[in-house]
């Protein structure tokens, strides 16, 4: 298992660095092409650069959003903010990273399948979606503690058999609400499968409670995902 994780991690890094290198090479070729065209048109590029000054050009570009995107793009790669293949959240969009270029990061939204471009300068607004789901199950006060524990262990075991579930752990009583006792289960899965695992886990809960003739309290089932920046 450890070797597999290392391999996946290496593949992600390799794809990320290759995409960034391709973007850098493309930008470099574009700049060289522009200079060549200017020279062909009779503009003395050497004199122009000497007159303006390289430092002045760099400072001028640095004040523009394009340069900010480039700097942050390099920072994303060097500081391991996220890699190609990771699932990230930006505003209302949650998707898998398809590419990281000098100026933008492209993701495919897992809800709409739309391709979303994120300016690299907006990295502080991006969250990395974790593999954890916390399932809170409300049970009525009328059920005895030992019976509640048995029901929760049955739900936990059933969730563990679902497709795409990596691990499942019953964590005990989490909250004493006004109309229910809320028990918590921690589930891990690939972030890309969170929606399907969420739905399947909720199905297990409702079916198990129905089989024990337990009515859900008026509070709602809630699923909480822990993300990190």
Structural domain spans, the chain? 2-128, 130-228
Nearest to 113 by CA among 98, 127, 125: 98
What are the tens digits of pLDDT across the range 76-130?
A: 777 778 888 889 999 999 999 998 887 888 999 988 899 999 988 888 889 999 9
- Dihedral sign, CA of 99, 100, 106, 111? positive
Size of the chain, expressed as the number of residues it contains: 229
Nearest to 164 by CA among 136, 139, 190, 143: 190
Domain 2-128 has CATH 3.40.50.300: no
- What number does CATH give the domain 130-228? 3.30.70.100
Answer yes or no: are the C-beta atoms of 98 and 79 closer than 8 Å.
Answer: no
H helical segments located in 41-165:
45-52, 54-62, 65-78, 145-159
What are the tens digits of pLDDT across the range 125-172?
A: 899 999 999 999 999 888 898 999 999 999 999 999 999 999 999 999
């Amino acid at each position: 298992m450890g070797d597999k994780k290392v391999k996946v991690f290496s593949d992600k890094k390799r794809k990320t660095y290759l995409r960034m290198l391709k973007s850098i090479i493309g930008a470099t070729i574009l700049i060289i092409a522009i200079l060549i065209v200017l020279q062909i048109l009779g503009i003395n590029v050497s004199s122009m650069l000497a007159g303006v000054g390289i430092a002045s050009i760099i400072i001028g570009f640095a004040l523009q959003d394009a340069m900010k995107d480039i700097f942050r793009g390099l920072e994303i790669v060097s500081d391991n903010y996220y890699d190609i293949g990771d699932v990230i959240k930006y505003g209302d969009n949650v998707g898998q990273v398809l590419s990281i270029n000098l100026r933008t990061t492209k993701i495919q939204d897992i809800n709409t399948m739309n391709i979303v471009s994120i300016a690299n300068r907006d990295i502080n607004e991006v969250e990395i979606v974790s593999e954890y789901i916390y399932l809170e199950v409300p049970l009525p006060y009328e059920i005895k503690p030992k019976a509640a524990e048995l029901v929760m262990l049955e739900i936990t075991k059933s969730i563990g058999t679902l497709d795409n579930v990596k691990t499942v752990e019953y964590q005990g009583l989490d909250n004493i609400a006004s109309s229910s006792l809320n028990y918590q289960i921690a589930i891990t899965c690939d972030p890309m499968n969170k929606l399907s695992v969420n739905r399947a886990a909720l199905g297990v809960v409702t079916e198990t409670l129905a089989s024990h003739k337990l009515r859900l309290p008026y509070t709602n089932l809630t699923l909480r995902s822990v993300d990190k920046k």
